[in-house]
Amino acid sequence: MPMPWTYRHSEREFKAFLADVKDRTGLSSDNMAYTAVDGVLQVFRKRLTPAEGIAFADILPSTLRAIFVAGWDITAAPAPWADRATLTAEAKALRRNHNLTPDDILAATAWALRRSLRQADLDRVLARIGPEAQDFWRLDGVDPADLEQRIV
């Protein structure tokens, strides 16, 4: 079997993802975008069981997969879901002194993520996790053509 594309081209995928995040948020550096995305991924992960988290991670591009699982305490009970304002505040709290995460970070990350993978895979996994997970990654009023997978 050949090496999976996501492993051979992980840097290319991740740079494209960060560029999408920066475009949607106005953040000016990869470091700022990384911190914002890391916060979003941690906030989402915090609400999942290990089985749900691994199912989600399995569809992510390789670098995002690594970020998603890094430092995860799988013995911790999942946190309850919360409203978008609370979830956003949690994402913005990560590395507070170095975090310039904007208020629209959930939607911006969802937009970039959806352009980084197959929509059908994400929708299938989120449906299995539940409506709260689907809501977390939802995008309202976005033209589906804008969400076409950027790197295939």
CATH top-level class of 5-70+78-147: mainly alpha
Cα separation, 132 vs 70, whole angstroms:
23
Binned at pLDDT 50, 70 and 90, residue 134 comes out as very high
User: For residue range 2-25, what is the model confidence (pLDDT) as tens digits?
Assistant: 887 777 778 999 999 999 999 999
Residue 111: pLDDT over 70: yes
Do the Cβ atoms of 62 and 70 come closer than 8 Å? no
Give pLDDT, residue 41: 98
Mean pLDDT value across residues 65-85: 96
State how far the alpha carbon of 32 is from the alpha carbons of 9, 17, 52, 86, 132, in Å: 22, 13, 28, 20, 27
Helices (H) and strands (E) in the chain, counts: 9, 0
Rounded-to-integer distance, Cα 6 and Cα 138, Å: 24
Nearest CA-CA partner of 21 in 102, 142, 129, 80: 102
Answer whether 139's CB lies under 8 Å from 107's CB: yes
Residue pLDDT, tens place only, 36-51: 999 999 999 999 999 9
pLDDT > 70: what percent of the chain?
A: 96
Q: Name every residue whose Cβ is closer than 8 Å to that of residue 120 and which is 6 or more positions away in sequence.
A: none
